Structure 1
């Protein structure tokens, strides 16, 4: 007989893994008589956004006093000094300037609720998108075959059991590498049609192959008596919620982009109180080899969507902001020198953004040395001076109270950098 816990951790996930366009009738009937829930103790929520394609951190947050950078980017360099033909950088601290298309971030930076880490990256020197993303999401930059992702391990280290299938949710069409592993996690492409996939979670995949009704028959009495009830309650809540006509709070307006839509749905899950603690979304199009642009063009559109989407989400959170931290990540940065087609090529370090009321904000953390050739990695790239694990582990510790760094990031024994409040 399948144990109640086994059902929750595997069969409960398999419900979503079979790709249904709604909730099976027998499940709807099973939950119909259960009281409306106030089930889940409110906990902290971490929202991670992966910028796939490698963001140019030197254009997002520019060390504008650096004459070497100016010389290396004759048509891409931007300044905080207003020019006739383009918008100026937003001067953050006299040394770094925020791209003008990220103006939405300025207020929370000034309010010291957003911190920026510059010179962040992986100790693995690969410039392969696939490998670098894999290493960052697994959290093991020198081990290719790690079966689990760092966010899945974080879920397992939260220090409490949960019966909700919505504890870790990715608003993507398939499960991201970050969520691979033994702990429950979901990929939901769209709340409106409930199109959910479970690739990457072997336990769930195995259970999905079995007859779900049989599993339910074996475990229903125990499920409805104890912790399984919360799973069914969460499903019931999502089924009954009019996600299509969701109205964001506080006048928040989400971009109609993929990222904007994902963050809007994460906001809905948070407000529904279905037990969400770790959420994941993606932003694509950061591989700017050609015609990168300055205050207009591909890069400007991307950073505008990123910042406007995040700030719409943050505004929508309202009184829930104390519970939420948002962190961006990208696999690597771009070359210091622009190429012959008005773009930048695969580099090493980039920057990331961390937003939350427990963030040591209003600062550009990390170290960026003068961009002279002798200070560049391989004579061409912004050097990685902050291991991404230093930042990810600190955010997990301070916000989620996940303090077992040895399990979260095996083979790493570095130190944190103080991006979170103590």
Structure 2
């Protein structure tokens, strides 16, 4: 086999991924997982305003996409007097909400007004302030910078406690040295068989990359064996869960036993047409996502008390539906925060009554809760990081303490 084809087949090995044997995250080290929804998901189809002014404006703006209010057939589930939850996620998320392990932050996102998926995703993962040029931080992602501040980017820790459940290393974790990544598409089935691995080893014998390739192969084999040790639960397959929902328990086990900082991205949120309301395409995806998150929480066991999960997207969708029964690229959205130590069961952050005067550019949710100060405030509590150290993670972002943990 040609060396080029082998390199393509082993993208997820990492350039110098270390061995995982005997490797475990510090027992008391808090865990953090970022679940990134690529495509810009519609927060108004998850968290519905119920105050009198916003509710009327919601129904008027979405004649075909609006979800019925609480008390109606297929209606939303009331969370408090101002907000309700989409019925598609009620069975999985309401128990976490009632246990005070789930918080929603509406009017959340980035101040970036660029509505391009790729540019906004890059800026989000880099964690840069508006106006700072992409590349000015050396293409280092904000989770990579957090890892450096936590001392996880040293040779001793490199690649051991940082893991991305993706096919390629995401921008958000670039800049922290070697970081492991394993694609959800390949969990439970190796990308290379034994014959191919032997050929690859021989191909790189005596090559400067020989040691890195050997360590990468060992890392991939170790992770695959651990992932395959727990068989797939056919009951979860029966509920038409996505790949994330199917593999969430395995992710939870790695977060429990080894991974201090993790990242996973989930696609399919660019709902320009036939989005659906209480049921339909988007409702199904939200149900799959919430099923996976609930499974992850259950699998982590006592370690869930030291874990925080952020669910976010590069931007939200337009407040008004379009002519193809969907929504277009927007601005503000809704962040989810989950965790065993979370002070949850509440809607957090700055809020406003939704109406035409309060829409961003007369089309979108405004961003009143920037994700950068929000995360800086969370990590000040979770990790005890000083303002000086947080400024290196998020330049020009004063920590905002919402009392989340």
Whether the 8 Å contact between 1:188 and 1:194 is mirrored in structure 2 is no
How do 1:117-132 residues align onto structure 2 when only pairs under 5 Å count? 117-132=105-120
Count of aligned pairs between the two proteins: 367
Structure 2: distance between partners of 1:151 and 1:215: 23
SS in 2 for 1:259: helix
How do 1:228-377 residues align onto structure 2 when only pairs under 5 Å count? 235=219, 238=222, 241-246=225-230, 253=236, 256-271=241-256, 273=257, 275-377=258-360
Equivalent of 2:40 in 41, 50, 54: 54
SS in 1 for 2:348: strand
Whether the 8 Å contact between 1:325 and 1:356 is mirrored in structure 2 is yes
Structure 1: distance between partners of 2:109 and 2:356: 19
Unaligned runs of 5+ in 1: 1-15, 197-208, 218-230
- 1:181 is matched with which residue? 175
SS in 2 for 1:416: coil
Distance change >3 Å, CA 417–CA 61, structure 1 → 2: farther
- 2:402 is matched with which residue? 418
Whether the 8 Å contact between 1:48 and 1:279 is mirrored in structure 2 is yes
SS in 2 for 1:169: strand
Structure 2: distance between partners of 1:372 and 1:215: 57
1:62-115: CA deviation from partner (whole Å, max 9, x where unpaired)? 10231222211112222333334xx11010011101111111111111111111
- The alignment status of 1:192 with 2:192, answered yes or no, reads no
- 2:76 is matched with which residue? 89
1:194-252: CA deviation from partner (whole Å, max 9, x where unpaired)? 559xxxxxxxxxxxx952446899xxxxxxxxxxxxx99x9499269452241589x99
Unaligned runs of 5+ in 2: 1-5, 193-205
- 2:197 is matched with which residue? none
1:277-315: CA deviation from partner (whole Å, max 9, x where unpaired)? 111111111111111111111110111011111001111
Larger mean CA deviation between 120-129 and 151-160 belongs to 151-160
Q: How far did 1:417 drift?
A: 4.0
Structure 2: distance between partners of 1:237 and 1:94: 51
Structure 1: distance between partners of 2:120 and 2:12: 36
Structure 1: distance between partners of 2:45 and 2:236: 26
Structure 2: distance between partners of 1:60 and 1:327: 15
Structure 1: distance between partners of 2:269 and 2:45: 12
- The alignment status of 1:163 with 2:146, answered yes or no, reads no
Return the TM-score normalized by structure 2.
0.80
Structure 2: distance between partners of 1:214 and 1:341: 54
Structure 2: distance between partners of 1:117 and 1:252: 32
Distance change >3 Å, CA 71–CA 311, structure 1 → 2: same
Equivalent of 2:391 in 387, 397, 406: 406
**RMSD over aligned Cα, in angstroms?**
3.4
SS in 2 for 1:316: helix
Q: How far did 1:358 drift?
A: 2.4
Return the TM-score normalized by structure 1.
0.77
How do 1:105-120 residues align onto structure 2 when only pairs under 5 Å count? 105-120=93-108
Distance change >3 Å, CA 335–CA 21, structure 1 → 2: closer
- The alignment status of 1:154 with 2:137, answered yes or no, reads no
